[in-house]
């Protein structure tokens, strides 16, 4: 007859070394205690800029005014945003912290869609805002002309409206494939005649100040009927119900 074995003879669970786990846990507790108790010891180690192409990281870092020795929680994100937005190519900036030691600044840059002639050439943003004097190696944009000092002094709000209307006209012609943006060299404004669109190597198209949508439809109809805007023609759409088409050599310096 077999007797039951004693508890001492029963198999025991395998013992595991606890020393390393205890040390790791202790280290985490200590580190967590330091973080919670001394957030001033968490240094900001990196500043990253996302979305910047024209503005360089070195320029943006200088403008952000995030200095060495700044802590992760102590960095002034609003001040960094305002500083970065001082760069002429930056339209807006948003700064966020990324655990545990990085400040990420998302940058939206201006997109030049045209240039404005005003004591030199200036890039114009999509909303009609001139934001930077144009670089001599990057001037392949339509130029908005006719905004004089006299006009600005007489009507301070008019230049912004002129630029916006010129961009709206440029966009409408491009969207409908009537005259694509890359074919326009100049949009000249006149307070009496309206806008004259100069097509590269081709025609000169005059739009009156009122009823531009109707004039665009009339121009599209003329093109459907065979009008070639790459030919040296002046197309005057300002009259209320007709278009006057003449060879440019018959127009002379007019326009």
Which residue segments constitute the domains of the chain, with CATH numbers given?
A: 42-109 (3.10.20.310), 114-251 (3.40.50.11690)
Pick the more confident residue, 206 or 6: 206
With bands split at pLDDT 50, 70 and 90, how would you rate the model's confidence at 251?
A: confident
Strand order in the sheet with 244-247: 130-133, 121-124, 114-117, 143-145, 184-190, 194-199, 204-207, 233-236, 244-247
What is the pLDDT, as a whole number, of residue 149?
Answer: 85
Q: What is the DSSP string of 65-112?
A: T--TT-BTTT--HHHHHHHHTTSTTEEEEEEEEETTTEEEEEEEE---
With bands split at pLDDT 50, 70 and 90, how would you rate the model's confidence at 33?
A: very low
Rounded Cα–Cα distance for residues 27 and 251 (Å): 87
Q: Is residue 48 within 8 Å of residue 102, measured between CB atoms?
A: yes
Q: What mean pLDDT is predicted for residues 68-75?
A: 94
Q: Write b or e for each residue in 221-248: b if 16 or more Cβ atoms lie within 10 A of its Cβ, otherwise e.
A: ebbeeebebeeebbbbbbeeeebeeeee
Rounded Cα–Cα distance for residues 187 and 167 (Å): 9
Question: Of all residues in the chain, what percent carry a pLDDT higher than 90?
Answer: 73
* Residue partners of 54: CB distance under 8 A and separation at least 6: 89, 109
Rounded Cα–Cα distance for residues 139 and 116 (Å): 11
Tokens of 10: 């029963």
Tokens of 224: 């459907």
What is the pLDDT, as a whole number, of residue 13?
Answer: 52
What is the pLDDT, as a whole number, of residue 119?
Answer: 87
pLDDT score of 26 more than 70? no
**What's the Cα-to-Cα distance from 175 to each of 45, 168, 195, rounded to whole Å?**
47, 10, 18
> What are 13-18's contacts with CB under 8 Å, separation 24+?
none
What is the pLDDT, as a whole number, of residue 207?
Answer: 97
pLDDT tens readout for residues 76-128: 999 999 999 999 999 999 999 999 999 999 999 999 999 999 889 999 999 99
Tokens of 172: 């409408």
pLDDT tens readout for residues 130-186: 999 999 999 999 999 999 888 888 888 888 999 999 999 999 999 999 999 999 999
From the list 106, 120, 117, 113, the residue with the least C-alpha distance to 141 is 113
Rounded Cα–Cα distance for residues 192 and 213 (Å): 19
From the list 220, 251, 221, 218, the residue with the least C-alpha distance to 234 is 251
Rounded Cα–Cα distance for residues 230 and 233 (Å): 8
What is the pLDDT, as a whole number, of residue 176?
Answer: 95
What is the pLDDT, as a whole number, of residue 9?
Answer: 54
Question: What pTM, to 2 d.p., does this model score?
Answer: 0.78
What is the pLDDT, as a whole number, of residue 221?
Answer: 95
What is the pLDDT, as a whole number, of residue 240?
Answer: 86
């Amino acid at each position: 007859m077999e007797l039951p074995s004693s508890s001492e003879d029963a198999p025991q669970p395998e013992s595991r070394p606890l020393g390393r786990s205890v040390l790791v846990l202790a280290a985490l507790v200590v580190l967590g205690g330091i973080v919670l108790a001394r957030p001033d010891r968490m240094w900001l180690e990196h500043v990253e800029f996302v979305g910047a192409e024209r503005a360089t990281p070195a320029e943006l870092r200088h403008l952000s005014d995030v200095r060495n020795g700044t802590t992760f929680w102590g960095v002034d994100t609003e001040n960094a945003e305002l500083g970065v937005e001082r760069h002429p190519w930056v339209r807006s900036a948003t700064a966020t912290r990324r655990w545990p030691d990085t400040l990420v600044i998302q940058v939206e840059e201006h997109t030049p869609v045209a240039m404005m002639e005003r004591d030199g050439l200036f890039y114009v943003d999509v909303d009609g805002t001139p934001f930077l004097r144009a670089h001599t190696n990057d001037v392949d944009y339509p130029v908005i002309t006719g905004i004089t000092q006299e006009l600005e002094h007489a009507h301070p709000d008019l230049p912004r409206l002129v630029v916006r209307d010129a961009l709206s006209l440029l966009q409408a012609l491009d969207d409908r494939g009537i005259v694509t943006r890359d074919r326009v060299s100049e949009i000249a404004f006149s307070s009496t005649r309206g806008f004259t669109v100069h097509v590269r190597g081709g025609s000169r198209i005059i739009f009156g100040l009122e009823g531009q949508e109707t004039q665009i439809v009339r121009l599209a109809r003329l093109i459907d009927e065979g009008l070639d805007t790459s030919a040296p023609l002046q197309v005057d759409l300002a009259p209320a119900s007709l278009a006057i088409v003449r060879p440019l050599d018959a127009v002379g310096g007019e326009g």
